[in-house]
Amino acid sequence: MTEAVGIQVTLGPDGGASPDPALRVLTAEGCIQCNKCTFSCPVHRVDVLFSPRKVILQAYLGGADAVSERDLWACLTCGECQAVCPTQVPYPAFIRAQREKLLPAMERTAPCKHGGFKDVLAKIMAKPDLKQDRRAWIGDGLKVADRGDVIYFTGCMPYLDGVFSYCDSARIGKAAIKIMNAAGIVPVVANAERCCGHDAMWNGDRETYEKLARANAAWIRESGAKRLVTTCAECYSMLKYEYPKVVGEWPLEVLHMSELIEELVKAGKLKFARPVELTVTYQDPCRLGRHSKEYDAPREVLKAIPGLTFVEMDRIRENSMCCGVGAYSNCDAATKFMQQERLEEAASKAGNLVTACPHCRIHFSCYLDGRPVDPLPELKIVDLTELAAQALG
Amino acid sequence: MTFEPEIAAFCCNWCGYAAADQAGAAKLEYPAGVKVIRLMCTGMMDPYYVLRAFERGFDGVIVIGCHLGACHYKSGNVQAQDQVKRVGQVLRALGLGESRLMMTAASAAEGSVFADTANAFVEKVRKLGPSPLREVVAQ
């Protein structure tokens, strides 16, 4: 149980993308129809017609095509069902394989404009002749390099402010560079970088995902760097667990920013001098928590910040509630109710909700920026990296 | 073969599109590469649409709405200006450059403004050359 392997599914000998071997794993060795998944599913809490157990049963009885389009895209792939499953049925991986299989037939364009933006951005970045300028957001006084041992993988962060006006996502990147500089690290921020391919892979667009993965692997190998740091839980799970399946041998050490901060603080290279007088609670991002089994590093960072009062919510770690949207593919009324519930839970504990994934931050901020279903107490959504940079002074 | 720019022109139903209609009725000429796409209001312009146009191989995108203060829905064109400004940053980061995107206003009676804008923008994009994303699209 201790090995951190991400969400995996044992595919056939070809290891390919075909959903049918996955289905065989589900039906022959997996699902015992106990329905634990359904009662833990955040979508089911709002939309009672959606049930992971039912989806598996339908797939078993009626072949893979029996999964309805609605069920296919309602799943958040947050992995809560797998976390409670007594036989560890890899439900998110099953959904992913189904999406891959059914995507050509469904001609999915985009469920919402934000999802469409991310999809098309990934497709543009998958094109070979691209001369990006990914450093415009880096302010004065922050040091980045062209070559070095540590890469800071920014992912789609430089592009997010083009759409999500209420978030200022570039602040996360600035904070990350500030922390690394304070510890004597001058990170590489490369213009050759592409989108990590997370949304493309989870939404079934394997072709785009593999192009992106290969393009990223090429420049990362060429750079000769030994470590790669990312502030995004999605990039982390992709680069650490999914890339090796596509690009082969991958000697790179992939770290989430929280892991790097924890390491630097323990080694005495980073000192939090300024107390941050805030009460915070922590949202486990699904890609960092359930998918990558990294629950402790962010909590260690929060505990290391002086002045900070850290209160846990009731549903944490593998039982953490999803932020409501997975891979930008399912933002709807159900999402809004999930977000209301989670934010109420957070607001009952603290005035600030800390996450370690820029996308959780976006989804929650989007909800607060729009019209909450019910009035919420004052609550701020903060990224862990931002908070740690504040403590530097 | 000479380079003939392909332009996606997002026009609002009430002004920009009517202006394009007026330009046609008045037999004004503008390059055939300008493809008009009608929206109810430029306020529904989204960064997604602009990026999608470039991904499909367009060399430039032009957004034509009502004059300020004349929006059929009060403030859609102001929202569009904000969106266009934001997506400009995205285009710069992608290496396409902001100058491939432009927003302007033309009232329903200004067919000549539409034709002049289209001509001028096509010339500008011609100087910039084909979009770096264009090669991949089968023409």
Torsion sign (Cα): A9, A13, A14, A18: negative
Token pair listed for A384: 């862990």
The domains of chain A are located at 19-106, 113-265, 271-391
Determine phi and psi for A212, rounding to 5 degrees. -65, -45
Distance from CA of B30 to the nearest CA of A (A): 29
Distance from CA of A132 to the nearest CA of B (A): 5
Per-residue CA distances from A351 to A310, A323, B81, B103, B134 (Å): 11, 17, 35, 41, 49
- What confidence tens digit (pLDDT) does each residue in B6-52 have? 999 999 999 999 999 999 999 999 999 999 999 999 999 888 899 99
Contacts of B94 in chain A (CB under 8 A): 124-125, 130, 132, 159
Q: Domains along chain B? A: 7-128 (3.40.50.960)
**A158 part of contact set with chain B, CB < 8 Å:** yes
Q: Which residues pair with A381 in a beta bridge?
A: A353
- What confidence tens digit (pLDDT) does each residue in A279-311 have? 999 999 999 999 999 999 999 999 999 999 999
Look at chain A and count its residues: 393
ipTM of the modeled complex = 0.87
Can you give the pLDDT at residue A12?
40
- Name the H helices within chain A: 19-24, 36-40, 42-46, 52-62, 69-74, 80-84, 91-106, 113-125, 157-160, 170-182, 198-202, 206-223, 233-237, 243-247, 257-266, 296-304, 333-347, 358-369, 384-391
CB environment A116-149: b (16+ within 10 A), e (fewer): bbbbbbbbbbbbeebebebeebbeeebebeeebe
Give me the mean pLDDT over the B109-114 stretch: 93
Q: Does domain A113-265 have CATH number 3.40.50.300?
A: no
Whether residue A181 is predicted with pLDDT greater than 70 in this model: the reply is: yes
Can you give the pLDDT at residue B138?
44
Among B54, B82, B93, the residue with its CB nearest the CB of A132 is B93
**Which residue out of A159, A168, A208 would a mutagenesis test of the B interface target, given it has the greatest number of B Cβ atoms within 10 Å?**
A159
Give me the mean pLDDT over the A29-42 stretch: 84
What is the per-residue DSSP string for A93-135?
A: HHHHHHHHHHHHHHT---SSHHHHHHHHHHHHHTSS-----TT
Among A113, A114, A162, the residue with its CB nearest the CB of B90 is A162
Alpha-carbon span A193 to A223, nearest angstrom = 11
Domain pair A19-106 / A113-265, same fold: no
**Which residue out of B94, B98, B128, B136 would a mutagenesis test of the A interface target, given it has the greatest number of A Cβ atoms within 10 Å?**
B94
Indicate the class that CATH gives domain A19-106.
mainly alpha
Give me the mean pLDDT over the A65-75 stretch: 77
Give me the mean pLDDT over the A139-159 stretch: 89
